[in-house]
Amino acid sequence: MKVLVTGGAGFIGSNVVDGLITAGHQVLVVDNLYTGKRSNVNPEAQFFELDIRAPQTAELIKRERPDIIDHHAAQMSVPDSVSDPLFDADVNIKGLLNLLEAARKSGTGKFIFISSGGAIYGEASEYPTSEGYQPQPLSPYAVSKFSSEHYLEYYRHQYGLDYTTLRYANIYGPHQIPHGEAGVVAIFMDNLLKERQSTLNHFLEDEKGMVRDYCYVGDVVKANLLALEKGAGDFFNIGTGVGTKTSELYNAIVKTFKEMMPELPEKLATLRKQVARPGDLTKSCLIIEKAHRVLGWVPETTLQKGLQETLKWRVNMP
């Protein structure tokens, strides 16, 4: 199949591109390199430096007529969405609509949309949280993602454009940059490599940090490959079902460093603490039974193994 991946020069998108090419698909990449890197793009993919909001992107879709659009490009930072909700909506909603209009005019068969299981549910009373829980987004980023899910259903109902929505937990792994909450693994590793102390964002009632569901990017790639042919008109949590506090994550990363790079200075094992940022949630963890039942997907990588593979990539270990 011919698959167009938006954000294919970014962290998750570039990993998905690699997986698609390995599986034998023809891949087009659209990325404006705002946070992505040209060096991330698989040389076997066709690369187009374009913004998803641009008319040229719509023209590309109409010309190339991809079978599937896998949409990873986004304004992804919760704090940034709080400080600039107009920009967040411009990228995440206007950009989506530009793609959807081009997709339905070009006869694209399916749209894979990346939503956020780590944000749209808000401070969920159901924990861990299933897809049956009514989302209660508490940040402009979460609002834009949930609104986008409604647009997808409209385009399916009105024009017959099939879709599958993947609601990601907190994803980590190779190609991740130390930027924003979603990049906390990269931030901690970057600080340790540069011998800088890391900061723990926390709520006053629990100084061990927020709880998140950390899923390795290699497992996420498999979910995208399955979504090419499964999950029509539906949405799925993609995570591990295991909640990890930020302090526990940091300790696991320090342990990984000590095992693989024993020269780590002991003084870096402690965290500097500060109060959580606007838009941060106290805890988030996803129930993933539906993805297993419908897509046939299960996460296979433990946190320990995922951190080892991520550190190998960051320091160019074999």
Which residues are designated catalytic? 141
Q: What is the sign, positive or negative, of the torsion defined by CA atoms of 146, 149, 154, 157?
A: negative
Q: How far is residue 139's CA from residue 146's CA, in Å, rounded to a whole number?
A: 11
**Contacts of 150 by beta carbon, 8 Å cutoff, 6+ apart:** none
58 with 34: CB under 8 angstroms? no
Strand, coil or helix: 47: strand
Tell whether omega for the bond before 128 is within 30 degrees of 0, i.e. cis: yes
Tokens of 299: 């996460």
- Structure token digits, residue 83: 């400080």
Strand boundaries in 8-87, DSSP class E: 26-30, 46-48, 68-71
Reported as type and span, the H/E element at residue 60 is helix 55-64
In one letter, which amino acid is 206?
Answer: D
Tokens matching residue 24? 């034998």
> d(Cα 242, Cα 127) in Å, to the nearest integer?
11
Cα of first residue to Cα of last residue in the chain, in angstroms, is 32
Question: What's the chain's length in residues?
Answer: 318
